[in-house]
Amino acid sequence: MGINTKITKIPFLILYLILTGFILFNWIRIIVFQENFEIFRTEQPWDYYLSSFFVNNFGITHQQYFIFALPVILIGLYIIPKIVGKFLNLDKNSNIKGDNHVAIILILLIAPVALGIHKLLGPGWRNHLIPGIILIILFSIWSWIDEKRYKTS
């Protein structure tokens, strides 16, 4: 039994809860323990620029941005895997369950940042993405090999 078959057996709700758990852990850590939002620039550069856009254009605080953006992001993290998963499920000869596969990819992208692995590499947005992208590449290769075995058997 390959990796794709094992991922297919996991309910999407479990994967979604893991994904939202990482997001909530990361955001609560930022909101509660961040006293100076300039430090936020090095810790979460994409969130910093996005929140700064809303702060400057709509006159809200960074904390208000997070309270507004969190439900939007959680809904997006549910809808995006479902929509992209529908496209992956178009191949009827595949052993990939699309929404689960996309949820695993998002978990692999977010987990290193939420767990603080990026701090080992230093500041900067690239160091936030590199560990997740490496995990996604390794997972994609492993999944592709399993898919190839499934289609040849």
Average pLDDT over residues 94-108: 91
Indicate whether this model's pTM tops 0.95.
no
Q: Reduce the DSSP state of residue 109 to 3 states and report it.
A: helix
Return the pLDDT at 124: 65
The number of domains in the chain is 1
Q: Is 111 exposed, middle or buried (0-12, 13-18, 19+ CB in 10 A)?
A: middle
9: containing domain: 3-152
Q: Judge whether residue 40 has pLDDT over 80.
A: no
Mean pLDDT, rounded, for 106-132: 81
Reply yes or no on whether the pLDDT at 36 is more than 80.
Answer: no
Confidence (pLDDT) at 49: 78
* Residue 5 clears pLDDT 90, i.e. is over it: no
Q: How many helices (H) and strands (E) does the chain have?
A: 7, 0
Cα 114 to Cα 36, 98, 126, 131: the distances in Å are 19, 24, 15, 12
